[in-house]
Structure 1
Amino acid sequence: MENFTNDTIDTKQLPKFEEVVFTSLHPKYLRVVIINLVIFCASLILFFVFFSYYNDEIFSGRIWLIIGIMLSMFCLFVTFVSIAGFYKKGYAFREHDVLYKFGLISNNTVVIPYNRIQHVALHESLVSRIFDLAKIQIFTAGGSSSDIEIPGIEKEQAEKIKQLLMGKIQKQL
């Protein structure tokens, strides 16, 4: 039997991911976020108008005003959170892992070593395609959904990132 060791690791000497320089999402992606918000808020308002048209006995003049104010406040809040959240997102690819940070109220950083990556997908939504942007989805073993979704990357750059990750996966096999 080999000599088993289980030495303590000095955690103060570990590299700090906080010192990594993160790449921000492409500035055009903010337009995608705003367009998606306009579509969402317009759909919400149209649904309310349509619903209230067929249920006019429920909605009197004051209730219209209150619901209109609440819908406006909700849309403004969602817009503020989405735009502020855009500026907090970033990603980085290091020698052995990929990092993605996000979060407005709580800051989150996901670190995935390349040897855990099982699958990589590239997606373009209709609005993102207009601005030539894509989203990279990174899947690890044991999950049915992606572990990291990095939106707002130029399509050409996203394809290069996908090839990089696929190369890292192939090296692991």
Structure 2
Amino acid sequence: MQNFTNEPIDIAALPRYEAVNLNKLHSKYWKVILINILLVYTTITFSAVFGVIFIEELLDMALILGGLIVLLLFFTLFFAKISFNKRGFAFREHDVIFRNGIISTNTMVIPYNRVQHVAVHEGFISRFFGLAKVEIFTAGGNSSDIEIPGIAIEQAKNIKQLLMGKIQKQL
């Protein structure tokens, strides 16, 4: 019969995920973000213009509405750039790390033995720039646990192969 032990773990001796140098998203992904923002704000601007044309009461507010759209665009670009710069990922021997966030930083660490499925998605605009998104799924959910956008397509496919190999070793 074995003696049961439950010794405390020295927390200071645990490996620090913060010390890992994270890979940045591909620089072309910033262009994808800008095009997406441009498409959204073009739609908003056309809607506002048509609203002003067809609803006479809005004509007096056209300058205010235009100013609000420009101000909102400025804040969107500002926060999008901060978000782009703060995102990072790393694949280590036993886990994957993904960091994102604007005001608060979220860092997810998922051990490979928890990964159940991996998908690579190429959106229309991302594909034009040769980029893809890697989605990593664990048990118990319909959506992915980590979505890493802005990865070169070949690198994304290699990451998928790496993770699928890790999944196969678990079986």
Normalised to the residue count of structure 1, the TM-score between the two structures is 0.95
Partners of 1:137 and 1:96 in 2: CA distance: 17
Match of 2:46 in 1: 46
Match of 1:147 in 2: 145
* Cα root mean square deviation, aligned: 1.1
Partners of 1:119 and 1:128 in 2: CA distance: 22
Q: Determine if contact 2:82/2:102 at 8 Å carries over to the other structure.
A: yes
List per-residue Cα deviations over 1:82-101 (Å, max 9, x = no partner). 11211111100001100001
Partners of 1:44 and 1:170 in 2: CA distance: 47
Partners of 1:64 and 1:143 in 2: CA distance: 45
What does 1:51-130 correspond to in 2, within 5 Å?
51-56=51-56, 58-61=57-60, 63-130=61-128
Partners of 2:51 and 2:98 in 1: CA distance: 41
Match of 1:36 in 2: 36
Deviation of 1:52 after TM superposition, in Å, equals: 3.1
Kindly provide the amino acid, as one letter, of the partner of residue 25 in structure 1.
Answer: L
Match of 1:136 in 2: 134
List per-residue Cα deviations over 1:46-70 (Å, max 9, x = no partner). 12222333322x3132x11111111
Kindly provide the amino acid, as one letter, of the partner of residue 24 in structure 2.
Answer: S
Where structure 2 has 5 or more consecutive residues not aligned to the other structure, the ranges are none
Kindly provide the amino acid, as one letter, of the partner of residue 11 in structure 1.
Answer: I
Normalised to the residue count of structure 2, the TM-score between the two structures is 0.96
Kindly provide the amino acid, as one letter, of the partner of residue 163 in structure 1.
Answer: Q
Q: Among the aligned pairs, what percent are the same residue? A: 52
Partners of 1:51 and 1:165 in 2: CA distance: 50
Aligned pairs, how many?
171
Partners of 2:142 and 2:64 in 1: CA distance: 41
Partners of 1:136 and 1:7 in 2: CA distance: 39
